[in-house]
Chain A
Amino acid sequence: MLFTQNKPTAEVLESLGAEKNIFLLGCNGCAEACETGGEKALSTIKAELEKAGKNVTSTTLVDFLCNKVLVATRLARETDNIKQTDSILVLSCGVGVQAVSKVVDKVVHPAANTVSLGGLQGLWPSDERCQACGDCALDYTGGICPITFCAKSLLNGPCGGAQDGKCEVDSEKDCGWQLIYERLEKVGRLENFKKIRTPRDHSKMLPSSELRKTSFYDIEV
């Protein structure tokens, strides 16, 4: 079980900016249990987006967004629809958001913060992908996690150590910031990277006492 919590609506709206046509994609796995994905969450966020003047082009539910193959097969049916949307708002853990950004060349936005990977991991090898930082930055980076893909978890761009696109720590490993840069360029969002991202709030990594009181948490962790 992966624990996610909704990002505040204001933050989600800010990340959508001027985008008008939004494809909603929810996860029916752990996120459903956390009420951040699933049917109910989809309809809540749909109403909020419409209230803010957005056009929701689809509300699609996938059982496990962390299963990249499942995501690719399911989204293949939505190709035309996705083409016409400005971006995809993903209601899942960070692994799900990354799976989506891996299979479609569209701007993706996370609707939730991943706070704990306790219990069963996501299906796409995932603790390597998401460290449950509690303040998901995938929106800013175009769907590639800066915390796990950069050996120094840098938030404002590459260090001086990358060589030929590989990380200074391991010449076999891609530099995360090189990937992020290429991705942002591809989806036309380089301006994201020009904004200074403020330091992480590490206290967000601690599951809140409310979360710890839930039976899910009790059973899974």
Chain B
Amino acid sequence: MKLIERFKQGKFVITCEAGPPKGIEMEQMMSELEPLRDKIDAFNVTDLQSSVMRVGSLATCRLLKDRDLEPIMQLTCRDRNRLGLQSDVLSAAVLGIDNLLCLTGDHPTMGDHPQAMPVFDLDSVQLLSAVKGLMGGKDMAGNDLEGRPPQFCLGAVVNPGAEPLEPQIIKMEKKIQAGAEFFQTQAVYEVDKFARFMKKVKHLKVPVMAGIIFLKSPGMAKFMNANVAGIHVPDELINELAGVGKEKRVEKSLEISARLITELKDLCQGVHIMSLGWERHVSTVLEMAKL
């Protein structure tokens, strides 16, 4: 099912990240997703997240489909030129995938194969245009596709915490013009700042899903503040988490996330949860947030 249908139904949409393993045993990943079946509208299957080599998004998406879980295939520009990307988009359609999330992708130097050639033949805006073109029956060179063209719901990302914000918004507008129908954001910890962002993009009239990353520890929060672009965890949250004993950390962390979701709920059209190994806690957080 195309994710856009959920938004049209007026539903507060919930997606969750699903990272394929480094190795071919898929059982553990699938068993972690299973309990989320009734809570999550779709799973973002990452495309070699953080430039770390692992099982691909396309095959994993199909495995999800086989289990009747809705996948969103993430597609980055890092590893394939326009021939590879367009071909994989067609393959995705053949395998019944309905949702694509198009991103630039991290640079290879961020991952475990820093020696790799960075491709970036296309950027995220151009990739969206290319997919839109395929949906209209033409490839990037203007050649006709045989038979019925593929159909997808196209998503993109935006970073509401970026400074300055203006270039992000201009790029967001370009993504919409190129075909993006919904947006997922980088993790949000400052509700006020996010509210200001939402005000600025109100005229764009596209569904926006706020990103949620569980704060597993004060150290992780500090690490993200120093190293992850556009993420800022305010000191109050770090102190709140640091203020409880280790045995209460998980509980506190989930409570913080649930509170953020509750506060964000009225500002946007959905949340995108990047659980980073805490899949088992997603249900609890959603229950705490009354979703």
Contacts and interface: CB of A to CB of B under 8 A. Distances in A.
Interface of A: 151-164, 168-169, 177-178, 181, 190, 193-194, 196-200, 202
Interface string B110-143: 1000000010111111100110000000001000
A152 B167 contact: no
B126 A155 contact: yes
B186 interface: yes
Interface stretch (B41-49, B67-75, B157-165, B188-196): B157-165
Given A160-B186, A196-B129, A181 B109 contact: no
A18 B204 CA distance: 29
B80 to A, nearest CB: 13
A160 B125 CA distance: 13
Interface of B: 77, 82, 104, 106-107, 109-110, 118, 120-126, 129-130, 140, 157-159, 162-164, 166-168, 170-171, 173-174, 177-178, 186, 227-230
A178 to B, nearest CB: 8
Query: Max chain A CB contacts within 10 Å: which of B77, B104, B230?
Result: B104
Contacts of B107: 151-152, 161, 168-169
Majority DSSP secondary structure for residues of A touching B: loop
A24 to B, nearest CB: 31
A155 B122 CA distance: 8
A158 B126 CA distance: 13
Nearest to B228: A163
Nearest to A177: B167
Given A151-B118, A153-B120, A199-B122, A164 B106 contact: no
Contact of A157 (B82, B121, B171): B171
Contacts of A198: 126, 129
Given A151-B118, A157-B171, 19 more contacts: A152-B107, A152-B118, A152-B120, A155-B123, A155-B126, A157-B167, A157-B170, A160-B230, A168-B106, A177-B167, A178-B167, A181-B166, A181-B167, A194-B173, A196-B126, A196-B177, A198-B129, A199-B82, A199-B126
